[in-house]
Structure 1
Amino acid sequence: MSGADDIASLDFASVTPEEFARIVKGLSTKEINEIAQDATLRARVLKEVFGRMERQFKPDVAGSLDALIRWKVTGQGDTEDAVYETKIANATCTVTEGRSNAEPRVTLVMGDADFLKLVSGNSSPVTMFMMRKVKIAGDVALAAGLTRYFDIPKA
């Protein structure tokens, strides 16, 4: 069974964040990019990951933070870029698909493999930035500390 088959057969509703982190850790960048070539599967994975952000948000850590974070996950070949926005305000986190007209405090741009590694706790945002695997426009300090606002599992 390939990595794509593993992901395709997942019942995301029953997979814990820790299990998802372990699955991602076990996949190579090449395998993740193969998964991303299947537009339906890619959309399913991204929708699940962003859907979990609201549940894994730590309001006590965010405090009075008010920020719009735009995520652009770049596609390869015929795969289109995916854009999501995370709005943190009043100790809540709201995620929407697509690009709004609002001005984000920070925009993060990365490929599918780097995105999945970041959100599953398998890579550090600072290391990714230093290695130019993620591009950041706007508030770099917010981007560097973004993971502390979410309960991110360690694989």
Structure 2
Amino acid sequence: MDGTSSGKLTDDLARLDFAAVSPEEFARIVKGLSGQQIAEVMRGELRTRILGEVFGRMKQQFRPEAAGGLTALIRWKVTGESDAVYETAIADGACEVTPGRSDAEPRTALVMGDAEFLKLVSGNGNPVTMFMMRKLKVAGDVGLASGLTRYFDIPKA
């Protein structure tokens, strides 16, 4: 891919109002991007916007009926041009997401690159396969980590 088409893709996505993009449309966008294209897009302010929107939607995508009585703090570390850390607290049938790292000990911590994160949250990647291929690192409760996707409505592209 030449720099021109990659730059156009980044420009097109930079103009996109992510708040207006449905989870299904987001899944289709991610599915159509190569790892190299994701790396191009996930830079600077655009990366901040994309991660903010994805984590911002977790609360709405949460499935309390699937979580039941689960109480857990999940720490997400998305690596790329810089590390982005978010925490998801699940308790009493609710889900709260906060940016940054708290002093609390997470039940499980997930570390992955930008491409793996976007594929995971858009339904375009299998967390078990990512773990086996060492593209997703898990510390703490591996069982919780392997079943996390069932607690959220994840679109299918």
| 8 Å CA contact retained: 1:3, 1:32 | no
Could you list the runs of 5+ residues in structure 2 that have no partner in the other structure? Answer: none
Question: In the alignment, is residue 9 of structure 1 matched against residue 15 of structure 2?
Answer: yes
Could you list the runs of 5+ residues in structure 1 that have no partner in the other structure? Answer: none
- Mapped to 1, the partners of 2:26 and 2:120 lie a distance apart of 12
Q: CA deviation at 1:5?
A: 2.6
Amino acid at match of 1:13: A
The aligned counterpart of 2:34 is: 28
Question: In the alignment, is residue 47 of structure 1 matched against residue 59 of structure 2?
Answer: no
| Residue of 118, 129, 133 corresponding to 1:131 | 133
- Mapped to 2, the partners of 1:82 and 1:109 lie a distance apart of 10
Q: CA deviation at 1:6?
A: 3.2
RMSD (Å) for aligned C-alpha atoms: 0.9
Q: Please list the CA deviations of residues 4-28 of structure 1 after superposition, one character each: whole Å capped at 9, or x if unmatched.
A: 2332121112110000000000000
| 8 Å CA contact retained: 1:56, 1:150 | yes
1:109-120 → structure 2 map (5 Å cutoff): 109-120=111-122
TM-score, length-normalised on structure 2? 0.93
Q: CA deviation at 1:56?
A: 0.3
Identity score, percent: 70
The aligned counterpart of 2:71 is: 66
| 8 Å CA contact retained: 1:74, 1:80 | yes
